[in-house]
A and B are shown apart, each in its own frame.
Chain A
Amino acid sequence: MTLNLSTPTLWVLLPLAAALIALAALNRRTFAILLTSITAFALSILARFFPESLVIAFGPLTVSFSESLGFLGREISLRYEILPFISMIYFVTSLWTLTSGIGKTPQTFPATSLAITALVTAALGVAPFLYAALLIETAVLVSIPMLSPLGQPPRPGVLRYLTLQTLAVPFILLAGWLLSGVEALPPESPLILQSALILGIGIALWLSIFPFHSWMPMVDEHSNPMVTSFLQFMIPAVVILFSLNFLNRYTFLRESPGLYQILQICGVIMIALGGGWTAFQKNLKRAFGFSCLTETGFSLLAIGLANEGGLIWLMILLPARALSYWLWGFILSLVEQHAGSADLEHLEGFARRYPILAIGLLLAQLSVAGMPLLAEFPTKITLLTTALRSGPALGAWGLIGTLGLFLFTLRLLMHMVRPETEGEPNPWRVNESFLEYIPVLAMVVILILTGLFPNAFLTNITQTLTAFSQLNPFN
Chain B
Amino acid sequence: MKPHELIGRWPVLRQVAEGDTLGRGKAVQSAKTEQLRPRTDEAQHVVQSICPYCAVGCGQLVYVRDGKVDQIEGDPDSPISRGRLCPKGAASKNLVTSPSREYKVKYRRPHGTEWEELELDEAMEMIADRVIETRTATWQKQGDSGAATERTMGIAMLGGATLDNEENYLIKKLAMGLGVVQVENQARI
Q: Do A and B come from one complex?
A: no
Residues on B lying within 8 angstroms of A by beta carbon are none
